[in-house]
């Protein structure tokens, strides 16, 4: 256990970062994961069925 005791992170991301290079693009794996998650979340939000709402009133 580190000096920060019980409140220390379980998997601290303090080791030297990993990077992906493709032509002019260089991105850290952490940022890439965040961006992929954003795109995936967006697509899921578009396609996932939304719990149906009961129609209550017409032209209030």
Partner 1 sequence: MRSKAFRPDVDAPEWKGGHSPYDIIKEGTIALVVVSILTVLLSVAFGSPDDPSITIKAWSTNAPMDFATTALSELNATSGSAQYGAPYNHASTGQQLGPLTLAKWIGVRVPVNSVNDYIIDPLRSLPKQPALTADLSQWSSASGSTRAGWVKDYSQAANQMQIVNGQLVVNATNAGPLPVMMADLFQMARTGALDQALVTQNGFYTSDYTLPLLFLADGTYLSGIAQKQHLTGDQWGMMNETGNYPGQAWLWLYTFWYQIKPFNASGNGDVLVWGLMMVLSAGLLLTPFIPGLRSIPRKTRVYRLIWREHYRSLP
Partner 2 sequence: MSTTEIDRQWTTRLRKRVAGKLPPEKLLPDTQPTYVSSWIYVFGVTTMAALGVVIASGCLLALRGPQWWHTSSVGHFVNSLHLWSVEIFFFAMVIHLWGKYFMAAWRGGRALTWMTGVVTFLTSIATAFTGYVSQSNFDSQWISTQAKDGINSTGAGAFWNVLNSGQMLMWHIVLLPIAAVALTALHVLLVRIKGVVPPFEKTTEVTQ
Residues 1-60 that bind partner 1 (CB under 8 A): 8-19, 24-31, 33-35, 46-47, 50, 53-60
Coil, strand, or helix at residue 42? helix
Coil, strand, or helix at residue 6? helix
Secondary structure element (H or E) that encloses residue 40, with its range: helix 29-47
Contact partner, 19, from partner 2, partner 1, none, Cβ < 5-8 Å per class? partner 1
Contact partner, 1, from partner 2, partner 1, none, Cβ < 5-8 Å per class? none
Q: How many C-beta neighbours within 10 Å does residue 8 have?
A: 10
Sites of contact with partner 1 (CB under 8 A):
8-19, 24-31, 33-35, 46-47, 50, 53-60
């Amino acid at each position: 256990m580190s000096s920060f005791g019980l409140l220390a992170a379980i998997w601290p991301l303090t080791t030297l970062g990993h990077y992906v290079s493709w032509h002019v693009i260089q991105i850290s794996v952490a940022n890439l994961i965040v961006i992929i998650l954003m795109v995936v979340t967006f697509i899921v939000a578009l396609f996932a069925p939304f719990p149906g709402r009961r129609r209550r009133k017409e032209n209030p």
